A and B are shown apart, each in its own frame.
Chain A
Amino acid sequence: MRQIVIHNNVRRLRFNHDEMTQQQLAEQVGVTRQTIVAIEKEQYTPSLELAFRIAIVFNLPLEEVFYLEDAP
Chain B
Amino acid sequence: MFETGVRQFRLALGIALRRRLDPRNVERLVGDVLATLAEFGEAGADAAELVEGPTTNPEDRLEFTNGSLRRTAVRLGAQSPFYARLFSSAQIDPAKLDVAGLRAIPVTVKADLTERPGDFRCTDVQAYLATRTTGTTGRPTEVWLSRYEMELWPALGALASVLRGELRPGDVMQVNLSSRSTVALHQAANACRLAGAGCRLLGIVPPETALESLAEGGATILLTNPSYLAELVKAARRAGMGAGDFRLRRLVSGGEVLSPSLVRAASGMFGVPHVEDPYSMTEIVPITGRPCSQGHMHHDTNLGLTELVDLHTGEPAAPGALGTLVITPYFPYRDCTPVLRYDTRDVARCLPDEPLHCELATVPATSLVLGKADHLLRMPGGEIVTSRQFIEVIESLPAEPWPARYRAAACDGRIRLTLPASAIAGYSQAEAVRHFAAAGLDVDLDIVGDDQAVSLRHTRSDMLETTFASPHALVGA
Do A and B pair up? The answer is no
B residues neighboring A (CB under 8 Å): none
